[in-house]
Chain A
Amino acid sequence: MTTDVSFEAGARDERALSVWAATLRFLLRNRSVQIGGGLLVLMIAIALLAPLLWTVSPTRLDTAMRLRPPGPDAWMGTDPFGRDVYSRVIYGSRISLLVGLTVAMTAALVGTVLGILAGYIRWLDGILMRVMDGLMAIPAILLAIAMIAVLGAGIGSVIIAITVPEVPRVVRLVRSIVLSVREEPYVEAAVALGTPGHLVMVRHILPNTIAPLLVQGTYICAFAILIESILSFLGAGVPPTIPTWGNIMAEGRIYFQISPWNIFFPATFLALTILSVNVLGDGLRDTLDPRLQRSV
């Protein structure tokens, strides 16, 4: 008897594993997933290996080396303070990806919790969704800038400031899924069989949100990387002592006419990273969520 149970559990594990493996294999067949995912993996590798890749410390000042053009000493030139742009750009990938991934995960998590509450508790729905409508009426960059002005500059406050405007979008998505799935016969059946509410939620409703959330999360990640660079560029983001792509560009601004590489190298990395995440998102959307395929 006991052997039977363990055998069954083992079989189920194997099947669950193969479902994930099959999904992954299915995803990897998509051209956009290949290109976007490949580029993103490369960027993540650069970010992780940054200390090995930079040639000098990204914050080392060398006044004798100000505004040098790209060459063998400094592959991407130097900035107005004589710092090595290549090393700074490599370091900047860490901040961008950290902010992008953290914002996407936090927004997805908070948004899912609120979305489920809104979809399941009727009296809360009205209040919560009005608040979300209000938040969505404030342009995301403005809301982020205002929050930074209040919270003060720093990576933590940048992450909060970018997450808050994104949460309502996730809430709406999750709520709409909960509302439609709630009426499905299999959920009704589970309720009729006396399954407790939280188990219905976790076992039968939550799995339906995974695919759309993954797609939405990817787009949020791209958007967060963009907003972070904009905030830094405007001087209202990560403090200028930390090299981020936006900060490097902000410092190169006044010297743009003499040394455009101070802007163009971080700009290229920024554009490529956002492009890779967006292309990955398009690929995930096309493979995971055929309903969304035609809308955008």
Chain B
Amino acid sequence: MALYILRRLLAVIPVMLVVAVFVFLLIRLGPGDPAAQLAGDAATAEDIQRIRERLGLHLPIHVQFITWFGNILQGDLGMSIANNRPVSSLILARLEPTLMLTLTTIIFVVLVAVPLGAIAAWNHGRWIDRAVMAFSVLGFSIPVFVLAYILIYVFAMWLGVAPVQGFVSPTDSLYRFFAHIALPVLSLSTIYIALVARITRATVVETLGEDYIRTAYSKGVRDRDILLKHALRNSWVPVVTVIGISIAALIGGVVVTESVYNIPGLGRLTVDAVLASDYPVIQGLILVFSFTYVLINLVVDITYAALDPRIRY
């Protein structure tokens, strides 16, 4: 077990190294000279050369990478070009809304999708199953921002029951936090509810066909206990896997949702950085998001090994 955890931890290193090399090369090898862009239109050749030396751009590329990567390992993600602040402090300042949005979304998805999938599987082939599957196909195809605007139209403009935009920290007002986060969470979660419900259904249908379920029936276990204690409990591995994997897509959805609902989180920071060509911030955000994704999936993998005695590595 300890050996397995160690091996999985070590496997993170090459993945993150590839991410770092890619992020580094993307900006350095792209067309356009960062020093010239920094200097602005009125800069002379000497100005650009001075900036180049200050940034270390005159050094060989592998030296640049080692310096840059060394700084990152010490938590220094560089300085933002647009507003001259450390990238790490910009990211920290925008962390809370994004964290709250994603956590609320994941909790909501699990609470809705797993029961939905289980009910569909239990009623396999009946209308309720078909309804869940139809929702799953539709929900999977509707783009986040399309859904976001439909929800704004219905709940904020038509019914007037939800605020249109913004974010309120739960430490300021728990009620206003939920009022503001409700529509973003609904927009963001639909596609994952569709996905997770689909996987849950498929897995539970398969589990319900196992021999031990038939044994449970024949010894007189109640239907509810068969579903909850026997079938669902043995179906959680694929469900947790898909939740872990879909974190990557969730991060993409966050960028869009924060943009539509004007939430000052990391997603908005990403869009602002791209529009301002603020490369250090873009690099920092990709590294942070990718690292989070890799870390979550590492935890998911280790949880399996720790909790499910059937899994042996």
Name the A residues within 8 Å of B294 (CB-CB). Answer: 137
Quick check: A279 and B137 within 8 Å, CB to CB?
yes
**Residue from A141, A149, A152 within 8 A of B252 (CB atoms):** A141
Quick check: B22 and A134 within 8 Å, CB to CB?
yes
Name the B residues within 8 Å of A294 (CB-CB). Answer: 202, 206
Name the B residues within 8 Å of A149 (CB-CB). Answer: 273-274, 277, 279, 282
Which of A3-11, A22-30, A72-80, A267-275 faces chain B?
Answer: A267-275
Considering only residues 151-174 of chain A, those with a C-beta below 8 Å from chain B are 151-152
**B138 smallest CB distance to A (angstroms):** 7
Quick check: B271 and A234 within 8 Å, CB to CB?
yes
Residue tally, chain A, CB below 8 Å to B: 46
Bound Cα distance from A274 to B206, whole angstroms: 29
**Residue from B256, B282, B290 within 8 A of A230 (CB atoms):** B256
Quick check: B249 and A140 within 8 Å, CB to CB?
yes
Bound Cα distance from A145 to B251, whole angstroms: 13
**A268 smallest CB distance to B (angstroms):** 8
Q: Which of B18, B32, B273 is packed against the most chain A CB atoms within 10 Å?
A: B18
Taking CB as reference atom, which chain B residue is nearest A230?
Answer: B256
Q: Is the interface of B mostly helix, strand, loop or mixed?
A: helix
Which of B71-79, B139-147, B221-229 faces chain A?
Answer: B139-147
Q: Which of B31, B141, B290 is packed against the most chain A CB atoms within 10 Å?
A: B141
Q: Does B103 contact A (CB under 8 A)?
A: no
Bound Cα distance from A22 to B204, whole angstroms: 35
Q: Does A247 contact B (CB under 8 A)?
A: no
Known pairs A138-B22, A260-B153, A267-B146; A275 contacts B275 (CB<8 A) = no
Name the A residues within 8 Å of B289 (CB-CB). Answer: 138-139, 142
**B259 smallest CB distance to A (angstroms):** 6
Known pairs A139-B289, A141-B252; A134 contacts B18 (CB<8 A) = yes
Bound Cα distance from A143 to B30, whole angstroms: 14
A-contact 0/1 string along B11-41, CB 8 Å cutoff: 0001111110111001100111000000000
Bound Cα distance from A273 to B277, whole angstroms: 32
**Residue from A139, A233, A274 within 8 A of B248 (CB atoms):** A139
Q: Does A150 contact B (CB under 8 A)?
A: yes
Known pairs A134-B19, A256-B149, A264-B149; A147 contacts B26 (CB<8 A) = yes
A-contact 0/1 string along B51-83, CB 8 Å cutoff: 000000000000000000000000000000000
Taking CB as reference atom, which chain B residue is nearest A150?
Answer: B30
Quick check: A230 and B143 within 8 Å, CB to CB?
yes
Q: Which of B15, B140, B146 is packed against the most chain A CB atoms within 10 Å?
A: B146
Bound Cα distance from A55 to B138, whole angstroms: 31
Name the B residues within 8 Å of A278 (CB-CB). Answer: 137, 140-141
Q: Does B286 contact A (CB under 8 A)?
A: yes
Taking CB as reference atom, which chain A residue is nearest B144?
Answer: A230
Q: Does A282 contact B (CB under 8 A)?
A: yes
Bound Cα distance from A229 to B286, whole angstroms: 21
Q: Does B193 contact A (CB under 8 A)?
A: no
Bound Cα distance from A219 to B122, whole angstroms: 29
Quick check: B255 and A271 within 8 Å, CB to CB?
no
Quick check: B145 and A249 within 8 Å, CB to CB?
yes
**Residue from B14, B143, B251, B283 within 8 A of A274 (CB atoms):** B143
Q: Does A110 contact B (CB under 8 A)?
A: no
Taking CB as reference atom, which chain B residue is nearest A253?
Answer: B260
Taking CB as reference atom, which chain A residue is nearest B191?
Answer: A226
Name the A residues within 8 Å of B27 (CB-CB). Answer: 150
Quick check: B15 and A133 within 8 Å, CB to CB?
yes
Q: Does B293 contact A (CB under 8 A)?
A: yes
Known pairs A138-B19, A139-B289; A275 contacts B252 (CB<8 A) = no
Name the A residues within 8 Å of B22 (CB-CB). Answer: 134-135, 138
14 A-B residue pairings within 8 Å (CB atoms)? A133-B18, A134-B16, A139-B289, A141-B251, A145-B270, A145-B274, A150-B27, A233-B259, A234-B259, A234-B274, A260-B157, A264-B149, A267-B150, A271-B143
Q: A134-B14, A230-B256, A282-B137 are in contact. List 9 more A-B contacts (CB 8 A).
A: A135-B18, A137-B19, A141-B251, A149-B273, A149-B279, A150-B26, A264-B150, A275-B141, A294-B202
Seen from chain B, the residues whose Cβ lies within 8 Å of a Cβ on chain A are 14-19, 21-23, 26-27, 30-32, 137-138, 140-146, 149-150, 152-153, 157, 198-199, 202, 206, 248-249, 251-252, 255-256, 259, 270-271, 273-275, 277, 279, 282-283, 285-286, 289-290, 293-294
